[in-house]
Amino acid sequence: MTPKIEDVPQSAAVPTDREMVRIEHVSKRFSLRHDRSLKELVFSALKRKKLADTFMALDDVDLTVRAGETVGLIGFNGSGKSTLLKTVSGVLFPDSGRVMLRGRVAGLIEVGAGFHPDLSGRENVFLNGAILGMSRAQLEERFDDIVAFSEIEEFIDTEVKYYSSGMFLRLAFSVAVHTDPDIFLVDEILSVGDEPFQKKCLERIRELQAAGRTMIVVSHELEMLERLCTRIVVLRKGRTVFDGDPAEAVAALRAS
């Protein structure tokens, strides 16, 4: 669901000069097929046939993000936005170039990744929180806040497989926004839940901005990004084609 544009708060981000993320000449090539058996490998080696077609998901991308900035990544499907985010989170390693970070990074790459259906909500909060880098003390301290934010108190000891998709997303988002990292990666997750919850999420994002957190946000909600971000980068076929003012970036993407 798309958040209503009037609900989206104006950016509270205060950019500074301290560099937090440096992406230098990063390229990443994907092969189109990943499932192969040993038999296929042997045969293709014998026949000297190429195993799989490849394509460039990222092609010599340069990007620097400074503390306090909220940088939006926009582009059409397959332009490399999520891949770029994953090289920053450490899930993917670039084939060439390098990525450097300062401070702790937490990614909301996919809401609910790391949730296990057979565990209760409570167990999942702890597991997912720990995966996102929280310590036991932090989790115990913030547990009540996390549950309160998700508004699913009465179901917290139910196994997650019985949750509705809305409840699931609420809890997952709630864990993620309470991790309090220095660099926050957000991938297409601001459209979860119903309208009141979305509003709450956007408020939370604004709070994080005001607290000086650095954010990189991927989304197709162009109006929303235009309001939230201090800067927007447009990607096309793995290359950066625009980097600068949000309004101009959105216009640049629409013009292409």
Q: How far is the CB of 41 from other proteins (least distance, A)?
A: 8
State whether the Cα torsion 139-145-150-154 is positive or negative: positive
Question: Considering beta carbons, is residue 113 or 156 the nearer one to other proteins?
Answer: 113
Q: How far is the CB of 71 from other proteins (least distance, A)?
A: 16
| Cα–chain center distance at 108 | 4
Question: Considering beta carbons, is residue 89 or 150 the nearer one to other proteins?
Answer: 89
Question: Considering beta carbons, is residue 178 or 200 the nearer one to other proteins?
Answer: 178
Question: Considering beta carbons, is residue 4 or 33 the nearer one to other proteins?
Answer: 33
Question: Considering beta carbons, is residue 111 or 252 the nearer one to other proteins?
Answer: 111
Q: How far is the CB of 134 from other proteins (least distance, A)?
A: 9
| Number of neighbours of residue 109 by Cβ within 10 angstroms | 19
For 37: left if phi > 0, alpha if psi spans -120 to 50, otherwise beta; the answer is: beta
What is the rounded CA–CA span in Å between residue 133 and residue 213?
16
Helix axis angle, 195-210 relative to 165-177, nearest 10°?
10
Q: How far is the CB of 11 from other proteins (least distance, A)?
A: 25
C-alpha separations of 20 from 74, 99, 100, 130, 194 in Å: 20, 11, 8, 23, 33
What would the two tokens of residue 166 be?
Answer: 């809305």
Q: How far is the CB of 118 from other proteins (least distance, A)?
A: 5
Question: Considering beta carbons, is residue 82 or 214 the nearer one to other proteins?
Answer: 82
The gap between the terminal CA atoms of the chain, to the nearest Å, is 25
Strand order in the sheet with 70-74: 105-108, 183-187, 214-218, 70-74, 231-236, 239-244
CA angle 118–121–124, rounded 5-degree value: 70
Question: Considering beta carbons, is residue 126 or 163 the nearer one to other proteins?
Answer: 126
| Site for other proteins, rule CB under 8 A | 22, 30-38, 41, 57, 78, 82-83, 86-94, 97-103, 105, 107, 109-110, 113-114, 116, 118-119, 123, 126-127, 130-132, 135-136
The answer to whether 65 and 214 are in contact (CB under 8 A) is yes
Q: How far is the CB of 251 from other proteins (least distance, A)?
A: 26
Q: How far is the CB of 238 from other proteins (least distance, A)?
A: 10
